[in-house]
Amino acid sequence: MNIFTPANFIDDTSKESKYFPVYNSKLLHFLKESSVRPATEDEMKWSGLEEKSRHFIGYLDDAPLYAVSVSNEQTMIPDTTFTDLRALFPVMNMQLFEAISRAFQIVNWSDSNKYCGYCGSELHHDERERAMKCHNCHAPLVYPKISPCIITLIHKDKSILLAHNKNFPVNLYSTIAGFIEAGESAEACLMREVKEEVGIEVHNIKYFQSQSWPFPGQLMLGYFAEYKSGEITPDNDEIDDAQWFEVDNLPNTPPPGVSISGDLIQHYLNSLK
């Protein structure tokens, strides 16, 4: 089990630093190892990776942890390859996922904010905060962008509503999710998204928990919602199928652990026991 403690500025260098190299939204993965892990100082030194930027993101098991944005995919570290993060879910625990989620978002923020949106001058890292600032004008500081989203498990006694997104594998069903719009509350967003995507009304909305989701920077706010009225009508845009599933006869769903969708489902199943 790992322990990840986020931080913005380093004050303890008693342990050797560790590194998560990120190339084009992919993570360096050690193919012959059973779990995801960061690279060591020695491995980074001889990796042949060209660093665009490096960011201290906190401590992993008390060791300083850096996210490193790299500009080449070829590495001299044996038996490694840059891998899509979703493919690595089965080989990472929640603490590692939180560290990697932070690494990806910091790298994405740094790579995508080179210039001031007001005057076009080059941006610089602020010395006191995790933020970028413009030296030429008085533009507000640019912080890593986080997009709040709702994700909800809709239930009706011993059935739950699960939907198939047109981009999912064939038999994978999940909970309803969507981005909160400017000026909207999370609860209003939930009712709107549910109505838009599957055509029904819900009530008795109860907050569950939240999760950072680095694709590219969502904060998922998890809720349970009870069915109120209406017939399921998939929007046929994002959702091509949605059904009530009896809890003892579920399709493939995201596993609990790394995905809040899986946690919502498991929590509801446990609540019925």
- Which residue, 118 or 179, is less far from Zn ion as judged by CB? 118
Q: Say whether residue 139 binds Zn ion (CB under 5 A).
A: yes
- Which residue, 61 or 126, is less far from Zn ion as judged by CB? 126
Which tokens is 151 given? 């994700």
Q: Which residues, in sequence order, are CB contacts of 218 under 8 Å at separation 6+?
A: 146, 147, 148, 149, 179, 212
- Which residue, 135 or 273, is less far from Zn ion as judged by CB? 135
Taking the complex as a whole, the smallest distance from the CB of residue 107 to Zn ion amounts, in Å, to 23
Kindly indicate which of the ranges 114-122, 124-132, 198-206, 248-256 contains the residues binding Zn ion, using the contact rule CB under 5 A.
114-122
Query: What are the CA-CA distances from residue 171 to residues 45, 91, 158, 251 (Å)?
Result: 44, 22, 21, 7
Burial pattern 61-87, b for ≥16 Cβ within 10 A else e, equals: eebbbbbbbbeeeebebeebebbebee
Taking the complex as a whole, the smallest distance from the CB of residue 135 to Zn ion amounts, in Å, to 8
Alpha-carbon span 60 to 140, nearest angstrom: 31
Which residue in the set 3, 76, 87, 137 belongs to the binding site for Zn ion (CB under 5 A)?
137
- Which residue, 87 or 137, is less far from Zn ion as judged by CB? 137
Asked if 201 and 176 count as a contact pair (C-beta separation under 8 A), the reply is no
Which residue in the set 65, 134, 153, 258 belongs to the binding site for Zn ion (CB under 5 A)?
134
Q: Say whether residue 141 binds Zn ion (CB under 5 A).
A: no
Closest Cα to residue 26, out of 96, 110, 104, 106? Answer: 104
Residue 45, burial from CB neighbour count under 10 angstroms (0-12, 13-18, 19+): exposed
- Which residue, 3 or 141, is less far from Zn ion as judged by CB? 141
Taking the complex as a whole, the smallest distance from the CB of residue 72 to Zn ion amounts, in Å, to 31
Asked if 268 and 185 count as a contact pair (C-beta separation under 8 A), the reply is no
Closest Cα to residue 177, out of 211, 143, 227? Answer: 211
Taking the complex as a whole, the smallest distance from the CB of residue 204 to Zn ion amounts, in Å, to 48
Taking the complex as a whole, the smallest distance from the CB of residue 114 to Zn ion amounts, in Å, to 12
Which residue in the set 119, 146, 188, 250 belongs to the binding site for Zn ion (CB under 5 A)?
119
Q: Say whether residue 116 binds Zn ion (CB under 5 A).
A: yes
DSSP code for 258? T
Q: Say whether residue 115 binds Zn ion (CB under 5 A).
A: no
Task: Number of residues interacting with Zn ion: please give it, by CB under 5 A.
Answer: 8
Taking the complex as a whole, the smallest distance from the CB of residue 113 to Zn ion amounts, in Å, to 12
Q: Which residues bind Zn ion (CB under 5 A)?
A: 116, 118-119, 121, 134, 136-137, 139
